[in-house]
Amino acid sequence: MLQRHDLLRVTPDGWPAVLAASPGFQDLEYGPRRLVAGWAERGWPVIARRPAAEEGEGGVAVGLPLPPAYGKLRLALSIPAGLVAEPVAAVPLSAAAGSVPAGWWSQVGRLIALGERLALRPILFGALLWQRLTGLPYLRPGSDIDLIWPGPTATALPDLLDTLDRLDTAGPVRLDGEIALSAGSGVNWRELRQEFRRPGGAVLVKSMDGADIRCVHTLFA
């Protein structure tokens, strides 16, 4: 079963039919239309998303984000299951270190070191992921570094959250992202840190089924 942020590659032969059924694609201007039309042929993936209520169960719900130069739009597409060629492995932060601007190197290096120290392997999503996958210019001034951190042990969690806060404060890039929980759900690390030390702390947990408020202290028991 697909989880949030899973990457999928679509067969090129079926791609035109998928786009023909997409109102969002039909509304694109010429430049973005050309880019999206050749997406599957280039082997670039799409990303799993939560289906909208009106979409039913007839296909695989995916998103395709466009870079800022093409309007920073996100197409919502429905892919017949038979057109999903293969899953694409998640991209760890360490694999994208060479794709970041020089001014980010020190901060990225500290994030990688944090993962190694806690035996966690942060993976990318957001602009840095798509720039790494496609080579297109998704990053711009003010872009965040978006990371998914595997759920740590309860004893390691305060260290992870406090170190992320220090690295975020030191900059130069804003750190965003989630701590992954079971079955593909996740919680924003800032919200988790804010609520973690409160006796009745509660956070918004997102999953493929929706979102719900849960007590912080039940998440890592």
Active site residues: 144, 146
Residue with tokens 């990053």: 139
Q: Which of 103, 145, 100 is nearest to 125 (CA)?
A: 145
Q: What is the DSSP letter of 77?
A: E
d(CA 107, CA 101): 11
Please tell me the distance from the alpha carbon of residue 206 to that of residue 85, in angstroms, as a whole number.
Answer: 27
Expressed in angstroms, the distance from the first to the final Cα of the chain is 25
Query: At 40, is the secondary structure helix, strand, or coil?
Result: coil
Cα–Cα distance, 66 to 171 (Å, whole number): 26
